[in-house]
């Protein structure tokens, strides 16, 4: 996860989400991750990793595999 956080920081993002984003949107994305399968190693269940650019409020979210470190943008 550290590599993903560093990569996103280089692009101006920090972990979190914009305050305007609906809680239900997060729940849907988090559920997709819990039920997701890593494309790289086949591990079942991904961690939900949201990021926000605090200046623009642009939002990006990833499913992160704790087994192999692969991250896929949702």
Q: Determine the pLDDT at residue 6.
A: 97
Give yes or no for residue 67 having a pLDDT over 90. yes
38 close to 70: Cβ distance less than 8 angstroms: yes
Among the listed residues 22, 72, 73, 9, the one whose alpha carbon sits nearest the alpha carbon of residue 43: 72
Q: What is the pLDDT of residue 63?
A: 97
Give the pLDDT of residue 50: 94
Q: Is 45 left (phi over 0), alpha (psi -120 to 50) or beta?
A: left
**Residue whose tokens read 């305007």:** 20
Instruction: Count the domains in the chain.
Output: 1
- Residue 37: is its pLDDT beyond 90? yes
Range of the domain at 35: 2-73
Task: Report the candidate in 53, 70, 72, 69 with the shortest Cα–Cα distance to residue 61.
Answer: 72
């Amino acid at each position: 996860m550290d590599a993903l956080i560093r990569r996103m920081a280089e692009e101006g993002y920090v972990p979190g989400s914009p305050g305007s984003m609906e809680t239900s949107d997060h729940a849907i994305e988090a559920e997709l991750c819990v039920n997701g399968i890593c494309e790289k190693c086949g591990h079942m269940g991904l961690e939900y990793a949201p990021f926000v650019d605090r200046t623009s409020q642009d939002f990006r979210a990833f499913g992160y595999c704790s087994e192999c470190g692969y991250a896929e943008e949702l």
